[in-house]
Amino acid sequence: MTQAPSKRRWFAALAAFAAIAASWPAQAGENYKITIGANPGGGYDQTGRGIGKALQESGAADAVTYENKGGAGGTIALAQFSNAAKGEPNSMIVVGAIMVGAIVQNKPPVTLANATPIARLLAEYNVFVVPAASPIKSMKDVVEQMKKDPASVKWGGGSKGSVDHVSVAMIAREIGVDVAKMNYVPFRGGGEAVIAMLGGHVTVGTSGLAELDEFIKAGKLRPIAITSPNRLKGVDIATLKEQGVNVEIGNWRGVYGAPGTTPEQQKKLIEAVAKATKSKAWAETLEKNNWTAALLTGGEFAKFVDDDHARVRALMFKLGML
């Protein structure tokens, strides 16, 4: 018995649909948007694009888009993100110690309390560099110059209140120099700061090792100190403590979700990011940048940020920065 034309068409359509469906991924990922509160080229940018790549490699994301918005330690981007991304379950913003410092110092109307904690991702240390042709050979040379004339040492780094800024203030205080007299020039992003360092527009530059490593290896910048408590494995840079300056300070970065994110959506984001940190892509990002894995999620991460806010505020007050 032959099938009716309508049935044949129905079976043909069903077969075509099955063929198309078979070509789809077994489990479709999500489309994410990551806001980066700094211009391209810096640690925030590397973090945002690194976790984005890991989200894709892990299968948690089909696509990730990025938006850079530099200025004021990321607080400009945070304000924009809080307004524009409200209620968007797949939107995240890169946050970190720099943003916490900027919030403490600038007291913006929008803070991290307006967003949703997802995960702390990593920890890193800052390196201090001079141009290759600089007569400065070590941090001891910088200390001697600062003691003679604090303003003659022009420091370059991230925004006011950032780890970069705080570390310079800590050095000044440790060696007996009035913090108010130090000459610190803040930049909107790592790329701008590096240009100033390479051009000799600052005496000493400071940033995360990952941002400066390629210029150090190329011989364009010379490292004179690092803020870690001990020398990093495979990194031949003397610590501040080795050179008689009793200062150590670390940096951290992570991601927050949009305001209005529900507990279920927050949980889904946390699971996606945690899955991404187990990927080969994320392991390679950590290794390439000399970053230390420091995953902390949800409520524990929120408590860590609150504690860091209190610690940074107390430190800035002690340093005379508030």
Which pLDDT does position 322 carry in this prediction?
A: 83
> Dihedral of the CA atoms 75, 80, 85, 90 (nearest 10)?
-40
The answer to whether 99 touches 111, Cβ cutoff 8 Å, is no
The answer to whether 294 touches 121, Cβ cutoff 8 Å, is yes
**How far is the C-alpha of 227 from the C-alpha of 246, rounded, in Å?**
10
**Residue 100 host element (H or E):** helix 97-106
Structural domains in the chain plus CATH codes: 31-123+251-318 (3.40.190.150), 125-243 (3.40.190.10)
| pLDDT tens digit at each of 322 positions of the chain | 444 555 555 445 545 544 443 444 334 568 999 999 998 888 899 999 999 999 999 999 999 999 999 988 899 999 999 999 999 999 999 999 999 999 999 999 999 999 999 999 999 999 999 999 999 999 999 999 999 999 999 999 988 888 999 999 999 999 999 999 999 999 877 788 899 999 999 999 999 998 899 999 999 999 999 999 899 888 999 999 999 999 999 899 999 999 999 999 999 999 999 999 999 999 999 999 889 899 999 999 999 999 999 999 998 998 888 8
Q: How many Cβ atoms sit within 10 Å of the Cβ of residue 89?
A: 18
Q: How many Cβ atoms sit within 10 Å of the Cβ of residue 18?
A: 9
From residue 296, alpha-carbon distances to 35, 113, 155, 254, 307 in Å are 20, 17, 33, 9, 14
**How far is the C-alpha of 305 from the C-alpha of 117, rounded, in Å?**
9
Which pLDDT does position 188 carry in this prediction?
A: 74
Which pLDDT does position 8 carry in this prediction?
A: 56
The answer to whether 191 touches 42, Cβ cutoff 8 Å, is yes
List own/partner pairs for 16-25 with CB under 8 A and 24 or more apart: 25/62
The pair of three-digit structure tokens given for residue 245, joined into one six-digit string: 């300056």
Phi, psi of 231 (to 5 degrees): -60, 140
| Orientation of helix 43-57 relative to helix 209-217, angle to 10° | 100
From residue 143, alpha-carbon distances to 127, 137, 140, 176, 258 in Å are 16, 11, 5, 10, 44
60: nearest Cα among 263, 281, 275, 283? 275
Which pLDDT does position 12 carry in this prediction?
A: 53
Q: Which residues, including other chains, have CB under 8 Å from residue 24's CB and lie 6 or more apart?
A: none
Which pLDDT does position 6 carry in this prediction?
A: 54
Q: What is the pTM of this model?
A: 0.79
Which pLDDT does position 155 carry in this prediction?
A: 98
**How far is the C-alpha of 71 from the C-alpha of 77, rounded, in Å?**
8
**Residue 136 host element (H or E):** none
